[in-house]
Amino acid sequence: MTTNELYKRYKDYYKKFKGYRILFSILEYDNSTIAPIKSLDEKSEYTNFIFEDYMKLKKSNDYINLINELDSKKDRLNPQFKRIAYLAKKELDQEEKVPLSKQVELNKLTAKAFLTWNEAKAKNDYNIFAPSLEKIINLVKEITLLRGETDGNIYNTLLDDYEEGITTTELDSFFNALKSKIIPLLKRIKESKVVINDSFAHAKVSKAKQLKLSKYILKLNGYDYSRGALGEAEHPFTSEISPNDIRVTTHIYENLFFSNIFSTAHEGGHAIYNQNLGKNLICNLKESASMAMDESQSRFYENIIARSPEYIDLISKKVNSLLPKEYKNKVTNKEMYLAANKVEASLIRTEADELTYTLHIIIRYELEKGLFCGTLEVKDLKKEWNRLYKEYLGVDVTNDSEGILQDIHWSCGSFGYFPSYALGNAYGAQILHTMKQEINVGQAIKDNKIKQVIGSYLKKNLYQYGKLYSPKELIIKLTGEPLNPQYFIDYLTNKYEEIYFNK
């Protein structure tokens, strides 16, 4: 077959895969935002075979032969197809080793486990969820062993699913560098005499007002409303349904409007990345470079932009106008900035401040590594979770819902994802460092030109490349060096020294 024929055949397959994924994404979005809980079981029961059809197509001999042929001709392919062939062959080599029945088993298991996790969380009882979790972990281990270890370690195989090429060796060194700075800094902050009064941040702001605020934030940040939507979900997420339908969700707590602001900015960051992928990218290269790179953008918009003093100046008037009488138009920009950046060691990852957030991730990383490297068992997981929270954050976990049951990931069979959040923070700080050599970031925010200046820079230097490069290549292309935690450490140190020690 000529390369052009191969291209055409691959594109036809991709189109079908994408068709299935569009339907699954809409189903998932619907399940998470609108569908009544009572209907989830029956729907999964009825529609499961369509997911199986999708998997069968991905495992069909015809498709496998196509990928093998593309791979055998890789030196003659154009750059986009060379990358596509590499990624497809890699996926195939692993998937070939896993019987479809195992994948189906995992899907059924996680569909049920999600409900069990919900129940356990509602009833605040880890014991309800533990048996499901154990089953999931055993099955994921079994499947990952079939797929193959990397450097004699199945956790590396899982990490690679989310961040191409990353290993526990690199992550251990990365997280150790962060731990050695963040834990002492957190201790010092706890002893600092600076008291940040954020009582206004707990004032009641109605759902309707907060949804208007979400829209305002998304608009400021450059999200294109005509190619997306805003929804409400229990756990906020971004849904990349199709090129012109990239959706953001938020969760409204009426007594915690900051949560909505930063969560919206976070999901908006994911969405802005995915709305601005290069127009000429084809097939699965029209995606973000990796989970961590995607997280770098969500956390860039959430923290580096939305928690900056310039951004607070920009939104302060609007926020003030929504507050109840007691606080209305009385909160100064400085007070708002400090409240938005208040450090507080707490139990919930998604509500954590920018400093302690990474510690939440490190705990999950260490637990997952233990589970998959055989040094930790599910029966000891809760104890170890609570122990690490005490050791790293200095907090006592007094109930399961706010402890080990807080995250959805494990109930879905997602292991190896958490480090992406921390890598995202570090990529973000490193990108900011380079960006500042070319543009004035603070001024752009001040001038309400986030999209025109910062968005354009990121589009030109990051978004346009989609998945054409591996994240390791991309960060070098973008910043001239590999991932380096020092930029994030410096960023955090500068920020919090100024806030808590007036430096």
Question: What are the catalytic residues?
Answer: 267
- DSSP 8-state symbol, 224: -
338: alpha, beta or left? (left if phi > 0; alpha if psi -120 to 50): alpha
Q: Considering beta carbons, is residue 211 or 395 the nearer one to a second copy?
A: 211
Stretch that binds a second copy, among 70-78, 225-233, 294-302, 376-384 (CB under 8 A): 225-233
Q: Which stretch binds a second copy (CB under 8 A): 168-176, 223-231, 386-394, 459-467?
A: 223-231
Among 244, 280, 321, 375, binds a second copy (CB under 8 A): 244
Instruction: Report the 3 state secondary structure along 248-295.
Output: EEECCCCCCHHHHHHHHHHHHHHHHHHHCCCCCCCHHHCCCCCHHHHH
In Å, how far from its chain's centre is CA 241?
16
Contact between 16 and a second copy by CB under 8 A: the answer reads: yes
Among 5, 8, 11, 34, binds a second copy (CB under 8 A): 34
By CB atoms closer than 10 A (0-12, 13-18, 19+), residue 37 is: exposed
Minimum CB distance to a second copy, residue 40 (Å): 9
Q: According to the binding rule CB under 8 A, does residue 226 interact with a second copy?
A: yes
Would you count residue 29 as binding a second copy (CB under 8 A)?
yes
* Cα separations in angstroms, 212 against 149, 252, 318, 463: 48, 11, 10, 28
Q: Which is nearer to a second copy, 32 or 358 (CB)?
A: 32
Integer Cα distance of 210 and 206 in angstroms? 6
Instruction: Please say which residue, 28 or 69, places its beta carbon nearer to a second copy.
Output: 28
* Near a second copy in 395-454, by CB under 8 A: none
**Closest to a second copy by CB, 71 or 232:** 232
312 in Cβ contact with 303 (< 8 Å): no
Cross-strand pairs, 242: 245
Give yes or no for residue 228 binding a second copy (CB under 8 A). Answer: yes
15 binds a second copy (CB under 8 A): yes
Pick the piece of the chain touching a second copy (CB under 8 A) from 30-38, 261-269, 351-359, 367-375: 30-38
Asked if 23 is part of the footprint of a second copy (rule: CB under 8 A), the reply reads yes
Q: Does 333 bind a second copy (CB under 8 A)?
A: no
**Rg, C-alpha atoms of the chain:** 23
> What does the alpha-carbon distance between residue 247 and residue 30 come to, in Å, rounded to a whole number?
12
Smallest distance from the beta carbon of 247 to a second copy, in angstroms? 8
Question: Applying CB under 8 A, what is the total number of residues that bind a second copy?
Answer: 38
Contact string (CB under 8 A) for a second copy, positions 37-56, x = contact:
xxx--xx--xxxxx--x---
String of DSSP letters for 142-158? HHHHHH--BTTBHHHHH
3-state helix/strand/coil string of 84-116 = HHHHHHHHHHHHCCCCHHHHHHHHHHHHHHHHH
Q: How far is residue 223's CA from residue 244's CA, in Å, rounded to a whole number?
A: 12
Neighbours of 44 (CB within 10 A): 18
Q: Between 155 and 194, how does the x/- string for binding to a second copy read (CB under 8 A)?
A: ----------------------------------------
Task: Choose between 48 and 350: whose C-beta lies nearer to a second copy.
Answer: 48
The size of the chain, in residues, is: 503
Q: Which stretch binds a second copy (CB under 8 A): 21-29, 65-73, 369-377, 471-479?
A: 21-29
Q: Quick check: 245 binds a second copy (CB under 8 A)?
A: yes
Among 208, 279, 379, 503, binds a second copy (CB under 8 A): 208
The reply on whether position 35 binds a second copy by CB under 8 A is: yes
- d(C-alpha 60, C-alpha 52), whole Å: 12
**Under the criterion CB under 8 A, does residue 27 sit at the interface with a second copy?**
yes
CB contact set of 4 (below 8 Å; sequence gap of 6+): none
- The two three-digit tokens of residue 92, written as one number: 């195939």
Give the residue, chosen from 3, 20, 161, 196, that forms a contact with a second copy under the rule CB under 8 A. 20
**For residue 89, is it left (φ>0), alpha (ψ between -120 and 50) or beta?**
alpha
Choose the binding region for a second copy from 20-28, 144-152, 175-183, 215-223 (rule: CB under 8 A).
20-28
Closer of 26 and 139 to a second copy (Cβ): 26
User: Nearest distance from residue 258's CB to a second copy, in Å?
Assistant: 23
In the bound state with a second copy, the residue whose beta carbon lies nearer, of 257 and 427, is 257
User: By C-alpha distance, which of 61, 59, 85, 62 is closest to 72?
Assistant: 85
Q: CB-wise, 242 or 434, nearer to a second copy?
A: 242
User: Residue 246, SS3?
Assistant: strand
**How far is it, in rounded angstroms, from Cα 156 to Cα 415?**
11
Q: Which is nearer to a second copy, 19 or 148 (CB)?
A: 19
Please report whether residue 11 would count as binding a second copy according to CB under 8 A: no
Cβ-Cβ contacts under 8 Å for 58 (sequence gap 6 or more): 17, 95
Q: Tell me the closest approach of the beta carbon of residue 244 to a second copy, in angstroms.
A: 4
- Contact call for residue 26 and a second copy (CB under 8 A): yes
Q: Which residue, 23 or 412, is less far from a second copy as judged by CB?
A: 23
Q: What residues pair up with 240 in beta bridges, in sequence order?
A: 246
Interacting residues toward a second copy by CB under 8 A: 15-16, 18-20, 22-23, 26-27, 29-30, 34-39, 42-43, 46-50, 53, 208, 225-229, 231, 241-245, 247
